[in-house]
């Protein structure tokens, strides 16, 4: 078995060990050296490139890990993605270099689902605007929309989409879903009606994204997509900002075709202060915080740590991507 005390591990996820210090203790006592990210943001390719030389393991946040960055990895054996998305990792380059890539599927599903439902309620009951008005000395009579009897559309019925459906069941709404590999057993058990994608888009009063970033999904929420949505519908994205054409979304909101939107993900993160979506009162914006709960960060941390150490020990990881 390889001597792990001779290994160096880079950790760039900002929430690693945030809620469970044992994660840090376990890693630091097992390997010889741990390098933590000096930045408070996801790293660029050049920043990753500067940190990778001499590292054997890499517990990675939302960094850009492209071929240029990986060319500096002279010792790297494993990239353990702290989260499920691997679209910012050059999987082909990693495979060519013999670097194992893992992720943490399902670890944050419940937490992202809870945020999704919270954003739906915030939109339909104007909770942020009501809060701001009362604190400003006002007492407005705001007209809300009940979820009961409304149609909620879920694009993606994987781990997170399923958790959203479970929670929505108690609200008495109609749940439609599209997924290219839909789980029919789950759908029948939780009264989820599987429909073609265009029907989910056109019939939903609230439409929520739960899809990965793939060549066929990148930028899918464009002007044509948004024009299919029901007038005065709400749009929720707790998946990835790369799925959305923000200019098209802005136009749909400004002309009133959509009643509102809640966005936990943006194409540029953090979005610039001049991003026009942030100026719209009908837009709720959160800082990609879906997975930032104690339960989710702990689960992701332990899954990433175990797979990182498994590869360094010459063992097969539980959640290999490549």
The residues annotated as belonging to the active site are 240, 269, 288
Distance between CA 204 and CA 219 in Å, rounded? 20
DSSP characters over 150-218:
-EEEEE--SHHHHHHHHHHGGGT-EEEEE-TT--HHHHHHTTEEE--HHHHHHH-SEEEE-----TTTT
Token pair in block for residue 239: 């998946």
For 10, the enclosing helix (H) or strand (E) is strand 8-11
Structure tokens, 129: 């605007």
CA distance 218 to 223: 14
> 29's torsion region: left (phi>0), alpha (psi -120 to 50) or beta?
alpha
Residue 161 in contact with residue 167, Cβ under 8 Å? no
What does the radius of gyration of the chain's CA atoms come to, in whole angstroms? 21
Measured distance CA(33)–CA(50) in Å, rounded: 17
CA–CA distance, 271 with 265 (Å, rounded to integer): 9
Are 298 and 20 in contact, with CB atoms under 8 Å apart? yes
């Amino acid at each position: 078995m390889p001597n792990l005390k001779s290994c160096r591990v880079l950790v760039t996820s900002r929430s690693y060990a945030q809620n469970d210090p044992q994660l840090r203790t376990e890693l630091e006592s097992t390997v010889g050296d741990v390098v933590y990210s000096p930045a408070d943001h996801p790293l660029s390719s050049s920043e990753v490139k500067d940190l990778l030389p001499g590292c054997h393991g890499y517990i990675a946040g939302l960094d850009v890990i492209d071929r240029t960055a990986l060319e500096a990895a002279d010792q790297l054996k494993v990239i353990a993605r702290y989260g499920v998305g691997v679209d910012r990792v050059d999987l082909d380059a990693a495979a060519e270099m013999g670097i194992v890539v893992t992720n943490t599927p399902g670890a944050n599903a419940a937490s992202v689902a809870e945020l999704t439902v919270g954003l739906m309620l915030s939109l339909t009951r104007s909770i942020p605007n009501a809060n701001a008005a009362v604190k400003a000395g006002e007492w407005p009579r705001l007209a809300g929309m009940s979820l009961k009897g409304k149609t909620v559309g879920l694009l993606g019925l994987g781990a997170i989409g399923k958790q959203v459906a479970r929670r929505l069941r108690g609200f008495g709404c109609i749940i439609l879903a599209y997924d290219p590999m839909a789980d029919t057993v789950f759908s029948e058990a939780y009264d989820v009606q599987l429909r073609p994608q265009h029907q989910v888009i056109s019939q939903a009063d609230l439409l929520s994204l739960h899809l990965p970033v793939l060549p066929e999904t990148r930028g899918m929420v464009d002007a044509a997509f948004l024009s299919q949505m029901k007038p005065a519908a709400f749009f929720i994205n707790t998946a990835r900002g790369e799925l959305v054409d923000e200019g098209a979304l802005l136009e749909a909101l400004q002309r009133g075709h959509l009643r509102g939107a809640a966005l936990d993900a943006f194409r540029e993160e953090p979005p610039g202060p001049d991003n026009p979506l942030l100026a719209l009162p009908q837009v709720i914006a959160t800082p990609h915080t879906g997975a930032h709960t104690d339960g989710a960060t702990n689960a992701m941390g332990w899954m990433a740590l175990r797979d990182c150490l498994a590869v360094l020990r010459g063992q097969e990881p539980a959640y290999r991507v490549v």
